[in-house]
């Protein structure tokens, strides 16, 4: 092996990064803190192994947690190496398992054309199954059954393996078995099945398991803290004592327990793989010192950590600004003013993010931004492959590939409308159930007008399958859009232009997919392609089947929108992996963050603290933390206490902004000019004060809790002759010249002049 210690690949790496990249082929755990360059280390590690002759691309398997990350990794490697990377396996757990099952579909007892159900397709299949079984969906809601089945699969359990000692799960187990049978009959798999069936295949076949253990000499895994038990089992099956397993993760950023992630997998990996090398990447290249000091102090309160301490040589930077507002509306107006200040400093809106623990918090923030004319974007809206018109088109393509898939059949049998009503569908389902066949096959047995209408739809699919034989994928998709009537249908809609553009974009998506996968653009879309993706096992599926799999897998990816410069709004979970110049972390109140549901759960508070740690470390230069004394959530006014997490932050890293009696904000040592006036008043920046001094107490503003000279007080329930019942959020001025801000149950917050408003105390 050639050791290129002066290789250009290693230039610019710090000492721990250099050490990690050049480790011998032994199990290693890389504890990579936020902003510590883990992606660079992981990619450079692969390039180093290949460039030094330790492994060929054919012997590398790399697991990422998004398809976007996999594409970026391949793009980076392409710029670092001159060798052909075609034989390398890089992708998500689901994508790699799909590849494995395509290659060995017979051994896995699957048809070569098996299709993947995304979450919505799976839910539709569940509803159909419950109806066929005459199950009361009030007692067994489809989403609850779906969650039960997915959780069982994540634990590696088939129906007969689910614990039912007390009989509580008996009906769920029965439905699970029926669901398994239905999926097998229709030739479809859900996301959980991709992984579970892959694990079962590797366990069952010693020869197959041995083949892949010998092939993949190096197995690299990103975001290891987010693996679930079944994913961990899959990794164990693919590795042997000779495999160089390189796991990169951060137990302090494990925030997906609700999706099945188990942070204990990192501890199991250390123990079960006898990890020879544990390296900590602690130098942070993203955030300033005050932000990192706050993050370190906060996360130190969690027990059982593997342990690390982030640092930077970029200096302390600006302190963290903390604001307590009297209400959520005032909190939102403060956000607006600070954003205006940042824009005035020349900062792009896209470099600012407003984070919240719960989606319910966004309404007031959006309203304030809209009223202020500030462009914003809610991150994580509908993605391309999740849009209804695109899913309709994909259902037609799935039927062209496998006409016996009942979920796709039901989605489009009457779309566009063909006069096939619910009664006709029920009759068709009865025929299919009695004969044990698919809905497509049952069409010939349906009599009367209903039978004629359904058979006309079947004829459309048969014609599409015949007419597109031998066509390239792009041409096939275009032909389907025309022949199915989807384009004509949306041409009649008032706002159908955007939907048509999305359908037309699907043709472009098909062409781009072929280019990315290195298929010949002229390859017939519905014929198996041998050697595609350089898999060594021969036939792995047609371009159409692989494109449909790609669409299902991509439906879960976050895809950033292009265009207008806009402030980003998102939950903290959605912010994982992102970074911004300025981050506004809102709603730091007990019961909201940490969330009230987490406090009583095992490890719940620790996970909430890890979520706070993730939020803090999204910020590069500016971090703002805010809370509201009163907040409207779920139709009720909540009176809040400060979050315990604020007590865990070093006070010397914070700059507190405190409210004055008149609901304007002030503080000693203002560092800049006043912001523009908002309906809530003005804000100024407060100086740091003495280092190490205690933070201001979180009491109500001076007027809150005290009777105003008008006789009213903040928090009082009141009634108005026109607006009805409400609660006083704020009071300004004195006597009859003053005014009150009241949050009315029906009409929301309003400012009223006390001298003329017919406001009275409620009983």
Q: What distance in Å separates the CA atoms of residue 442 and residue 433, rounded to the nearest whole number?
A: 9
Active site residue 222: yes
CA 435, 440, 446, 450 dihedral sign is: positive
Task: Tell me, letter by letter, the H, E, C secondary structure of 507-553.
Answer: HHHHHHHHHHHCCCCCCECCCCCECHHHCCCCECCCHHHHHHHHHHH
From the list 22, 115, 227, 253, the catalytic residue is 253
b/e per residue 732-742 (b: at least 16 CB within 10 A): bbeeeebbbbb
From the list 618, 622, 631, 685, the catalytic residue is 618
From the list 222, 389, 535, 589, the catalytic residue is 222
Find, among 759, 723, 743, 707, the residue nearest to 630 by Cα: 743
Q: Where are the beta strands (DSSP E) in 222-346?
A: 244-249, 277-281, 320-327
Specify the 3-state DSSP secondary structure of 446. coil
Containing 181, the helix (H) or strand (E) segment is helix 170-186
C-alpha torsion angle, residues 562, 568, 572, 578 (rounded to 10): 50
Active site residue 39: yes
How crowded is the C-beta side of 466, counted as CA atoms within 13 Å? 6
Give yes or no for a contact between 659 and 322, defined as CB atoms under 8 angstroms apart: no
Q: What distance in Å separates the CA atoms of residue 585 and residue 589, rounded to the nearest whole number?
A: 11
From the list 19, 26, 39, 268, the catalytic residue is 39
Active site residue 449: no
Which residues are paired to 637 by β-bridges? Answer: 632
Active site residue 223: yes
From the list 223, 262, 608, 732, the catalytic residue is 223
Active site residue 732: no
Specify the residue for token string 């000019």: 673
From the list 38, 127, 280, 474, the catalytic residue is 38
Tokens of 386: 């999740």
Find, among 641, 669, 639, 637, the residue nearest to 655 by Cα: 669
Catalytic residues: 38-39, 222-223, 253, 618
């Amino acid at each position: 092996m050639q050791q290129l210690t002066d290789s250009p690949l290693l230039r610019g790496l710090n000492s721990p990064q250099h050490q990690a990249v050049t480790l011998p082929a032994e199990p290693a755990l890389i504890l990579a803190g936020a902003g510590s360059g883990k992606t660079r280390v992981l990619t450079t590690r692969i390039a180093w192994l290949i460039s030094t002759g330790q492994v060929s691309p054919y012997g590398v398997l790399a697991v990422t947690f998004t398809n976007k990350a996999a594409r970026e990794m391949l793009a980076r490697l392409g710029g670092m190496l001159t060798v052909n990377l075609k034989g390398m396996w890089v992708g998500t757990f689901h994508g790699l398992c799909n590849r494995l099952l395509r290659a060995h579909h017979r051994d896995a007892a699957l048809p070569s054309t098996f299709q993947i159900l995304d979450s919505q397709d799976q839910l539709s299949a569940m509803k159909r199954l419950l109806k066929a079984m005459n199950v009361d969906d009030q007692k067994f809601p489809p989403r609850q059954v779906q969650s039960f089945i997915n959780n069982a699969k994540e634990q590696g359990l088939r129906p007969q393996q689910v614990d039912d000692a007390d009989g509580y799960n008996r009906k769920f187990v029965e439905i699970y078995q029926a669901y398994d049978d239905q999926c097998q009959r229709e030739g479809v798999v859900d996301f959980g099945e991709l992984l579970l069936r892959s694990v079962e295949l590797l366990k069952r076949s010693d020869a197959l398991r041995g083949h892949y253990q010998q092939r993949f000499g190096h197995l690299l895994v990103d975001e290891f803290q987010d693996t679930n038990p079944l994913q961990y089992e899959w990794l164990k099956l693919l590795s042997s004592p000779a495999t160089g397993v390189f796991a990169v993760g951060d137990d302090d950023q494990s925030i997906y327990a609700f999706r099945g992630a188990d942070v204990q997998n990192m501890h199991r990996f250390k123990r079960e793989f006898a990890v020879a090398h544990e390296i900590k990447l602690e130098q942070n290249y993203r955030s300033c010192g005050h932000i990192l000091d706050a993050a370190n102090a906060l996360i130190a309160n969690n027990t059982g950590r593997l342990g690390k301490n982030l640092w930077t040589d970029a200096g302390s930077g600006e302190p963290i600004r903390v604001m307590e507002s009297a209400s959520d509306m005032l909190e939102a107006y403060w956000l607006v003013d600070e954003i205006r200040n940042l824009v005035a400093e020349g900062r792009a809106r896209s470099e600012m993010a407003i984070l919240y623990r719960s989606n319910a918090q966004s309404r007031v923030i959006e309203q304030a931004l809209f009223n202020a004319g500030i462009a914003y974007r809610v991150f994580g809206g509908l993605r391309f492959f999740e849009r209804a018109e695109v899913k309709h088109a994909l259902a037609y393509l799935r039927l062209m590939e496998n006409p016996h898939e009942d979920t796709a059949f039901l989605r489009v049998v009457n779309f566009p409308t063909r006069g096939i009503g619910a009664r006709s569908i029920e009759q068709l389902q009865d025929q299919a159930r009695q004969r044990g066949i698919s809905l497509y096959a049952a069409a010939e047995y349906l009599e009367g007008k209903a039978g004629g209408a359904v058979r006309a739809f079947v004829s459309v699919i048969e014609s599409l399958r015949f007419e597109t034989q031998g066509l390239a994928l792009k041409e096939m998709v275009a032909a389907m859009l025309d022949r199915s009537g989807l384009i004509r249908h949306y041409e009649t809609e008032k706002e159908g232009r955007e939907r048509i553009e999305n359908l037309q974009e699907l043709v472009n998506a098909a062409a781009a997919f072929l280019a990315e996968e290195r298929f010949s653009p002229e390859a017939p879309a519905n014929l198996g392609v041998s050697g595609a993706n350089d898999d060594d096992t021969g036939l792995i599926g047609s371009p159409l089947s692989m494109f449909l799999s790609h669409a299902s897998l991509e439906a879960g990816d976050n895809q950033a929108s292009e265009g207008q410069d806009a402030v980003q709004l998102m939950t903290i979970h959605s912010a994982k992996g992102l970074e911004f110049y300025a981050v506004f972390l809102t709603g730091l109140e007990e019961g909201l963050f940490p969330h009230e549901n987490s406090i009583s759960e095992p490890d719940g508070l620790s996970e909430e603290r890890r979520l706070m740690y993730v939020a803090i470390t999204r910020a590069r230069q500016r971090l703002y933390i805010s809370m509201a004394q009163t907040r409207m959530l779920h139709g009720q006014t909540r009176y809040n206490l400060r979050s315990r997490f604020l007590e865990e932050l070093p006070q010397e890293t914070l700059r507190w902004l405190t409210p004055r009696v008149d609901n304007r904000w002030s503080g000693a040592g203002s560092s800049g000019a006043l912001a523009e006036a908002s309906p809530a008043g003005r804000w100024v920046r407060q100086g740091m004060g003495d280092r190490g001094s205690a933070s201001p107490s979180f009491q109500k503003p001076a007027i809150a809790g005290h009777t105003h000279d008008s006789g009213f007080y903040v928090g009082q329930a009141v009634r108005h002759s026109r607006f009805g019942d409400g609660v006083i959020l704020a009071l300004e001025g004195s006597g009859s010249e003053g005014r009150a801000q009241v949050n009315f149950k029906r009409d929301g917050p309003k400012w009223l002049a006390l001298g003329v408003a017919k406001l009275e105390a409620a009983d």
